[in-house]
Structure 1
């Protein structure tokens, strides 16, 4: 594909995916990896994961900064999440090295399908069964997310490990797994879970990027592919933050995301099987 055609496509994809990911609370990584695998067949899996992780990190960091300004997240939650993510990122990096590209494509496709099912369950099965998080605030094992809610520290550590593992293994940032777990297991609302998810994604993604620092010097990755997508991600994320409070029907956004996830997952799996 011509570079003059590819660059606008990459920009638009980054803009739309980051916007959808921010509004839905799942993050853009769930679509960046499969779409990049399709659009950039000449890139190896490590390069694809690096690009996706970089985009996810930038989007998540913008959200974290906004949440800190709005006092929606506690610094201690971020610190615990980053510390717990470190060993998981190393483990995911090791596990990823054991599999071929085809196997990783199937793993990513399977995770995407699993995530879409979780999103449906969260919306239609668990939404009305959320625990009253305020009742847990007095627990000695809980730490404050903000002035209105808290989370069990052991659950936070486990979730951080899961996010770090997914980030390093697939490059999807961990958000597709983190949000459903925070909603279902921790009984948080979307508003309470989203700042935690973004914080854990940013921490795990940063560690993963540092472990692959040599790719920052790759002109092909950083300029031809990364730059237009980074611009799209920054614009898409900022716009999503600005308009999110005006969106009253998040379910429509979620269903668009779910359909795109299924299309991407099926395409990845068919590429391997056919």
Structure 2
């Protein structure tokens, strides 16, 4: 029964996460904590086990989603690589701090972070996207052009800011096992002026590499219970492929509203 539950968690988290470019960790981690509290079958789940398994699962979510998005030319590989320059060192730092955090403090900090992410969802929707200014093509900025549905979109941003934001998101990802897409997508749209249809796929591209490094560190630290992780991995790969395909047809706002409600309830529950 536990294996079936893990398989279903893999599908659901990857499917919903891939649609919105989140990776699914914001669903996987709280769900595992809840199961650990209500069922003796999940008594093995510690913060280190949960975060490590979440990152392992997201490797396959990110891989399947990124490959699907890349076939449709929606991934900004250049910008993604720049963000990863800061994201990967930050992920290792987050993994290092994770091994010293206790369950009570972990739940409190995760609850606060989830409420912050909910706020970012609203900010992402209601604040205007940063405009591209052709008159300020600074050498310290990266400049990108994309063709989406016949329309050319342009955006630029500071290389230093991109690396710093990537580092911050990577640290939180390694610490909490959330993938970082829930933080990175709003940052891409608000700070860097990236269109949503490029930001979410690029986020999944980043999540693959970031989760690969973070999960490797957790594996080396002995935090992965492979018996259960292997049950979730097939589901996560399948969910990632399906989510990336549905992304083209389903309004991501619908999924995001569901996530907002769930994350608000879970965030408050973790804090209390």
TM range (shorter): 0.7 to 0.9
Q: How many pairs does the alignment contain?
A: 259
1:149 deviation in Å? Answer: 3.8
Distance 1:154 1:63, change over 3 A: farther
1 CA distance for matches of 2:43 and 2:187? Answer: 32
1:264 deviation in Å? Answer: 2.1
1:86 deviation in Å? Answer: 3.1
Contiguous gaps of at least 5 residues in structure 2: 36-41, 148-152
1:255 deviation in Å? Answer: 0.8
1:146 deviation in Å? Answer: 4.6
The structure richer in helix per residue is: 1
Distance 1:89 1:27, change over 3 A: closer
Contiguous gaps of at least 5 residues in structure 1: none
Query: Could you tell me which residue of structure 1 aligns to residue 73 of structure 2?
Result: 71
What does 1:130-145 correspond to in 2, within 5 Å? 130-133=129-132, 135=134, 138-140=137-139, 141-144=141-144
Query: Could you tell me which residue of structure 1 aligns to residue 192 of structure 2?
Result: 186
Distance 1:146 1:136, change over 3 A: farther
1 CA distance for matches of 2:77 and 2:21? Answer: 20
2 CA distance for matches of 1:137 and 1:265? Answer: 41
| TM-score for the superposition, normalised by structure 2 | 0.85
Query: Could you tell me which residue of structure 1 aligns to residue 5 of structure 2?
Result: 9
- Partner SS, residue 130 of structure 2: coil
Query: Could you tell me which residue of structure 2 aligns to residue 32 of structure 1?
Result: 28
Query: Could you tell me which residue of structure 2 aligns to residue 83 of structure 1?
Result: 85
| Aligned 8 A contact 2:80 2:203 in 1 | no
2 CA distance for matches of 1:206 and 1:145? Answer: 28
Query: Could you tell me which residue of structure 2 aligns to residue 246 of structure 1?
Result: 249
| TM-score for the superposition, normalised by structure 1 | 0.84
Query: Could you tell me which residue of structure 2 aligns to residue 195 of structure 1?
Result: 201
| Aligned 8 A contact 1:30 1:172 in 2 | yes
Query: Could you tell me which residue of structure 1 aligns to residue 229 of structure 2?
Result: 226
1:266 deviation in Å? Answer: 2.6
Find out whether 1:208 has 2:214 as its counterpart. Answer: yes
Per-residue deviation, residues 204-258 of structure 1 (Å, max 9, x unmatched): 211112212336796xx223x11221111111111112222111x3222111111
Find out whether 1:160 has 2:166 as its counterpart. Answer: yes
| Aligned 8 A contact 1:160 1:200 in 2 | no
Distance 1:213 1:162, change over 3 A: same
